[in-house]
Structure 1
Amino acid sequence: MRFNVLSDDTKICVVMVGLPARGKSLIAGKALRYLAWVGIPAQIFNVGTYRRLDNPQPAAAFFDPSNPEGERMRRAAAQAAVSDMLKWFREGRGIVAILDATNSTKARRRWIHESCRNAGVETLFVESTCDDEDIIINNIREVKTTSPDYKGQDPEVAARDFRERIRNYEKVYETIDEDEKEYTYVKLVNVGSTVIINQIKDYLSSRLVYYIQNLHIKPRSIWLSRHGESEYNLEGKIGGDANLSTRGEAYARALPELLRKSGVPKDAKVTIWTSTLKRTIQTARHLAAETGYDKLEWKALDELDSGVCDGLTYAQIAERYPEDFKARDEDKYNYRYRGGESYRDVVIRLEPIIMELERSENVIIVTHQAVLRCIYAYFLNMSQEKSPWMEVPLHTLIKLTPRAYGTDEQRFKADIPAVSTWRGKGTSAHHQEVPEHMRV
């Protein structure tokens, strides 16, 4: 489902609430990527970024509520962030702003709510609370290694300082309660094990809340792989339901070891997802047999439907449908094959997959080039213009690890040759014939 039922004056400020190390920035970052992925213009306004302009690496004492200078500077940073956010709305530059900060007192939240209301902007408060010490420790480890506040500092010193910062915030922290029942809010307790929703009134807020309540902040990775080289790949044909080539079968046999080399956590629960097409099922079968991981087939992971062009080479498409070939080069994301799909259509059918991915822990997805591009674009915040042209080589395993401030990426290439199926924008449609000796 897409956000296609928005009124012209829809404006929402998503206000993050919570103590440090409760996953607020992770949730904010994911929400921003999701909104961009489905075509909703959005931006994060991080109060810490404004505060760092004057105090780039403050010690914990800066956050002590009894420190008047620290309190003044933190209030000024919040005011600057809200001012810039409201200006951004006035200029018509977006629909959803995410105010990322602790926003830890009722007075601060009331000020934000009133400032937004006076500007014609709705507020959606998102509070993340957690008393699970293991999760908090993991988040502290994440922050001390990735936050700009601790860049270049000794990790253990950073961890001690950050714990002291949390204790300072705890002195004044007020959770959202009955006093604020007129607000629209969602509360995530212990990584979403309990979700409390209040006063959700509009369509966009309900979609955002549905997305947010599927998130968790436990550490995990997602592995992406195209199927092994197929018989159609050797012939330069698109679509179809071809079997693997001999080299594609070799990749299928090598995939379990490639996954082990990528660093699967010991005793991690991993699930294998494939499409319903033969080449992905064949690629994953040795992986499932050797690891014992559960395997699921998803129709939503099937390759982009190329309609009347299914089974053709690019040269044949250019010859039979020259206007279509040119139109696809000009706007590949929105171009829809005759009787088939566009990349935009694929994103729509992948939304339930993304929701399920966010609920899951460790998943390896064996899928197709266009589908993998769309999933990759979601995690790496790649633009709609660039994602359809992304080069995704065969026989390569991509490991993505979501972090609070982005997604780490590693690639592991199997030592098994394969043809290149990538065609750059505006390049020749003619497929380079594969020499006979390479078809073994």
Structure 2
Amino acid sequence: FRLEFNQREVCLSFCVCFSSTAWASYMTNSPTVIVMIGLPARGKTYMSKKLTRYLNWIGVPTKVFNLGVYRREAVRAYKSYDFFRHDNEEAMKIRKQCALVALQDVKEYLMEEGGQIAVFDATNTTRERRDLIQAFVKEYSFKVFFVESVCDDPDVIAANILEVKVSSPDYPEKHRERVMEDFLKRIECYKVTYQPLDPDDYDMDLSFIKVINVGQRFLVNRVQDYIQSKIVYYLMNIHVHSHSIYLSRHGESNHNVEGRIGGDAELSPRGKQFARALQEFIGEHKLSDLKVWTSQLRRTIQTAEELGVPYEQWKILNEIDAGVCEEMTYQMIQETFPEEFALRDQDKYHYRYPGGESYQDLVQRLEPVIMELERQGNVLVICHQAVMRCLLAYFLDKGAEDLPYMKCPLHTVLKLTPVAYGCKVEMFYLNVEAVNTHRDRPLPPGCKPRELQLEGEEPREKTHC
């Protein structure tokens, strides 16, 4: 069946938790190839990268295969739009060969490297090319889902060219006017042979979503499984409007001072001082349109109350549930549950507290928050250490190995601003002292810690032996 949407009013929630070995296989009972379609400068690479980041975050191994990278390896020096003319036979052969090489890499990733989803990021604007891809996925029993980006808004197209294409390796001189002129001619070359997906006839049996004018409208056709429904859900929630997300832990709590985890403690005197400093921070940055979200635990609510603005309480923003270890210090846990303490150090992401949660559980719990953050304008999220790590890992594309050890200090605000293919990070320390609640990654014997300082993203520790 086919669904058509005119507004971003769909809000569903898929939030299921499985063991680490079962989760990805449950989501994808066979590997899937996501095939992007659309003229140049329609946001295909933007969507590819965001979708890949999201799928990896929820635990589905995903990788982008960008055909432009293969083309630049085959043809080192880009000269002009003439390379993309449909009557340039030599160039057409090169472009087809690049597609075949990329598809072979897709096969290796899905069949030999443990991948579950491959995103084939190219224009794929002709039925001939899409039929070639269909034959490929059929040969190896992969599933296929098409994502077509359609945009006829000249302002959006021009903004995309200036934001992304000016810095492309195709244009080392980065001359704005010449880049714009050449790239618009490149688009015209593709228009000559462009065959959009036809849901009423030729392509009626394909599984796909059309994203029209950066999300003003959607057309969804024959969604066949759970992972495809999640892809549709995600693409219907992202937007390209400029906004910033502010992440902050609550002010220092009495439990923080005592070294205890979990619980529902109140703010310490320094925690209350931070709440007042946070109010000043919001005023100084003139964040009048800011939405504020908290958990339902007292330490985040008390922090928000000092701001003097409305705030929303989200139960799913509560700190990770430590189960039988709630309100204990790490020393108490080590003495009382030595085996559990050791198991958590061995695999902190997947380890689940007895009667509590794992980081993997927490990621699944927080998925609706990510969807809302993608839909909203400026938001301040006052949360907890484990929660902030999970949210930050999504925006900075960090994997399960690094996520539980990301540094999220108290009394510090992180400003995240989505940019073309990533996220700009700014850190603000509000000059209120607090205890350090971070536990470093356990080091293998003979290894020493090495710190990587914050340069556009949060610091995290590496090891060298």
* TM-score after normalising by structure 2: 0.84
Cross-structure match for 2:142 = 121
Q: Which secondary structure state, in structure 1, belongs to the residue aligned with residue 74 of structure 2? A: coil
Greater CA drift, 405-414 or 134-143: 134-143
Contact residue 221 and residue 362 of structure 1 kept, 8 A:
yes
Distance 1:287 1:146 in 2: 41
Question: Do the aligned partners of 2:296 and 2:313 also contact (CA within 8 Å) in 1?
Answer: yes
CA–CA separation in structure 1 for the residues paired with 2:111 and 2:52: 20
Equivalent residues of 2:24, 2:60 under 8 A apart: no
C-alpha distance in 2 between matches for 1:89 and 1:5: 13
Change (3 A) 1:212 1:288: farther
Is 1:361 aligned with 2:377?
yes
Distance 1:134 1:287 in 2: 38
| Distance in 2, Cα, partners of 1:25 & 1:221 | 21
Q: How far apart in 1 are the matches of 2:173 and 2:258?
A: 52
Whole-Å Cα distance in 2 between the matches of residues 229 and 223 of structure 1? 18
Contact in 2 for aligned 1:142/1:403 (Cα 8 Å): no
Give yes or no for contact 1:128–1:188 (8 Å, CA) kept in 2.
yes
The count of corresponding residues between Structure 1 and Structure 2 is: 420
C-alpha displacement of 1:8:
8.0
Correspondence 1:262-273 to 2 at 5 A: 269-273=289-293
Does the alignment pair 1:215 with 2:235?
no
Tell me whether 54-63 or 71-80 shows the greater mean CA deviation. 54-63
Aligned-partner residue type, residue 52 of structure 2: L
Equivalent AA in structure 2 for residue 389 of structure 1 = Y
Q: Cα gap change, 1:307/1:53 in structure 2, threshold over 3 Å: closer, same or farther?
A: same
Change in Cα spacing, 1:31 to 1:335, as seen in structure 2 (3 Å) is: same
Shift of 1:97: 0.7
C-alpha contact (below 8 Å) 2:27/2:60 kept by paired residues: no
Question: Deviations along 1:279-304, whole A, 9 cap, x unmatched?
Answer: 21222234453xxxx53211110000
Q: CA deviation at 1:61?
A: 3.1
Q: Which amino acid aligns with 1:343?
A: Y
1:153 partner letter = K
Q: Summarize deviations over 1:167-219 as a string: whole Å, max 9, x none.
A: 33223222111321111111111222211111112222222222222222333
Give 3-state SS (helix, strand or coil) of 1:45's partner. strand
Please report how far the alpha carbon of residue 347 of structure 1 lies from its aligned counterpart in structure 2 after TM superposition. 0.9
Range with greater deviation from structure 2 (143-152 or 242-251):
143-152
Q: Tell me the equivalent position of 2:206.
A: 183
Does the 8 Å contact 2:295/2:313 carry over to 1? yes
Equivalent residue number for residue 9 of structure 2: none
- Judge which range, 67-76 or 405-414, deviates more: 67-76
Change (3 A) 1:263 1:399: farther
1:126 Cα deviation after fit? 0.4
Aligned twin of 2:34? 14
In the alignment, does 2:224 pair up with 1:204?
Answer: no
String of CA shifts for 1:341-364, please: whole Å, max 9, x gaps.
111111111111122222223322
2:299 is matched with: 279
Within 5 Å, give how 1:87-106 maps onto structure 2.
87-91=108-112, 93-106=114-127
In 1: Cα distance, 2:398 partner to 2:298 partner: 29
Q: 2:20 maps to what in 1?
A: none
Normalised TM-score (structure 1): 0.88
Q: Distance in 2 between matches of 1:15 and 1:288?
A: 48
- 1:59-91 CA-to-partner distances (Å, cap 9, x unmatched) read 333223343333332222212111211232232
Could you tell me how far apart the structure 1 residues matched to 2:333 and 2:300 are?
Answer: 25
Query: d(CA) in 2 for partners of 1:146 and 1:287?
Result: 41
Task: Provide closer, same or farther for how the CA distance between residues 259 and 22 of structure 1 changes in structure 2, counting only shifts above 3 A.
Answer: farther
Q: 1:319-344 CA distances to partner (integer Å, 9 max, x unpaired)?
A: 22111111111111111112211111
Q: Does 1:306 align with 2:322?
A: yes
Cα deviations by residue, 1:216-242 (Å, 9 ceiling, x for unpaired)? 233332221111222221121111222
Letter of the structure 1 residue corresponding to residue 351 of structure 2? Y
Aligned to 2:106: 85
Query: Whole-Å Cα distance in 2 between the matches of residues 328 and 375 of structure 1?
Result: 21
Tell me which amino acid in the other structure corresponds to 1:194: R
Q: Could you tell me which amino acid in structure 2 is paired with residue 314 of structure 1?
A: Y
Q: Which moved more, 1:36-45 or 1:151-160?
A: 151-160
State the distance in 2 between where 1:385 and 1:97 align. 21
Whole-Å separation in 2 of the counterparts to 1:321 and 1:340: 14
Q: Is the 8 A contact 1:288 1:295 kept in 2?
A: no
Mark the CA change 1:379 to 1:19 in structure 2 (over 3 Å): closer, same or farther: same
Which amino acid counterpart does residue 258 of structure 1 have in structure 2? Answer: F
Match of 1:240 in 2: 263
The SS at the match of 1:19 is coil
* Separation of aligned partners in 1, 2:90 and 2:282: 52
2: CA distance between counterparts of 1:64 and 1:263? 50
- Tell me the distance in 2 between the aligned counterparts of 1:30 and 1:139: 16
Alpha carbons of 1:380 and 1:56: their partners in 2 closer, same or farther (altered >3 Å)?
A: farther
Deviation of residue 156 (structure 1)?
A: 4.3
Unaligned regions of 5+ residues in structure 1, if any?
A: 428-440
Aligned with 2:93 (options 57, 72, 92)? 72
C-alpha distance in 2, partners of 1:271/1:218?
A: 16
| CA distance in structure 1 between the aligned counterparts of 2:311 and 2:181, rounded to whole angstroms | 42
Return the alpha-carbon distance in structure 1 between the equivalents of residues 375 and 361 of structure 2.
Answer: 23
Measured on the aligned residues, the alpha-carbon RMSD in Å equals 2.4
Aligned counterpart for 1:164 among listed residues 182, 185, 197: 185
CA contact (8 A) 1:262 1:399 kept: no
Question: In the superposition, relative to structure 1, how do residues 260 and 122 fare at CA in structure 2: closer, same or farther (>3 Å)?
Answer: farther
What amino acid is aligned across from residue 120 of structure 1 in structure 2?
S
Which shows bigger deviation, 409-418 or 2-11? 2-11
Percentage of matched positions with identical amino acids: 45
Alignment partner of 1:225 is 2:241: no
- Which residue of 315, 319, 336 maps to 2:331? 315
Residue 106 of structure 2 aligns with an amino acid whose one-letter code is M
Amino acid paired to 1:141: L
Q: Which moved further from structure 2: 319-328 or 400-409?
A: 400-409
Q: Which of 322, 326, 329 in structure 1 is aligned with 2:342?
A: 326
- Whether the 8 Å CA contact 1:307–1:338 is kept in 2: the answer is yes
Hey, what does 2:65 align to over in structure 1? 45
